Amino acid sequence: MPDIERWPTGRLLSTAARLVEHAWDENLRSIGLTHAGVIALEVLAATGPITQTTLAQIVRVQAQTMGQTLNRLEAHGHVARRRSSEDRRVHVVSLTSAGKEALEQAEESEQQVLAQMSIDTSMFRQELKVLVRELANYQQFETRGDPASRPLLPQDARISPRASG
């Protein structure tokens, strides 16, 4: 590995995120999930049924990307999509019982990956939450124009904090 002592913080953070995600994805494959799928399931568990468009906005991905994620989740029986009764062009997405079970397994898998680290993962998690919130708030003030373009954070979707911290 190159001399990481000289890497800027952003590079360290993005590299660490990719490495954790790859390790976690290996565990998730056995339950038919990806990292992106887990994020979608977490939001659905917190919000209940929501439109596919709203889900994409909360997760901060393009609608097409969310559509691909939902196709995989639906194929494994983790989510169900139905057309809105108000607008047939809109899909409402809901978590299935199989999806709830898969989400529980995914959370256990994440804990297993992080348990291997020689750091205080609880403190690290707290610091990451501060970083995400502060950067999102900074970007919010930098956003011009439509207030709907403001970044959405999990608390915007009424997502409760995880038991792990």
Q: What is the pLDDT of residues 96-143, one digit of tens each?
A: 999 999 999 999 888 888 888 888 888 988 999 999 899 888 766 655
pTM, entire model: 0.67
Q: Which of 12-21, 38-47, 112-121, 150-159 has the highest mean pLDDT?
A: 38-47
User: 11 lies in a domain?
Assistant: no
User: 13 lies in a domain?
Assistant: no
User: 147 lies in a domain?
Assistant: yes
Beta-bridge partner residues of 81: 93
Q: What is the per-residue pLDDT for 141? A: 60
Residue with tokens 């915007």: 156
The overall average pLDDT reported for the chain is 83
Q: What is the per-residue pLDDT for 158? A: 39
Any idea how long the chain is? 165
How far is Cα 76 from Cα 68, in angstroms, rounded to an integer?
A: 13
Task: Determine phi and psi for 126, rounding to 5 degrees.
Answer: -60, -45
How far is Cα 80 from Cα 52, in angstroms, rounded to an integer?
A: 11
Q: Is the pLDDT of residue 152 over 60?
A: no
Q: Is the pLDDT of residue 51 over 90?
A: yes
CATH number, domain with residue 102 = 1.10.10.10
Q: What is the per-residue pLDDT for 140? A: 66
Residue with tokens 């709830």: 100
Q: Is the pLDDT of residue 50 over 50?
A: yes
How many Cα atoms occupy the beta-carbon half-sphere of 50 within 13 Å?
Answer: 21
User: 84 lies in a domain?
Assistant: yes
For 62, which DSSP code? Answer: -
Domain encompassing residue 56: 18-157
Number of compact structural domains in the chain: 1
Q: Which of 6-10, 150-154, 161-165 has the highest mean pLDDT?
A: 6-10
Q: Residues 130-151: pLDDT tens digits?
A: 998 998 887 666 554 444 444 4
Task: Determine phi and psi for 79, rounding to 5 degrees.
Answer: -135, 160
User: Average pLDDT for residues 5-31, to the nearest whole number?
Assistant: 89
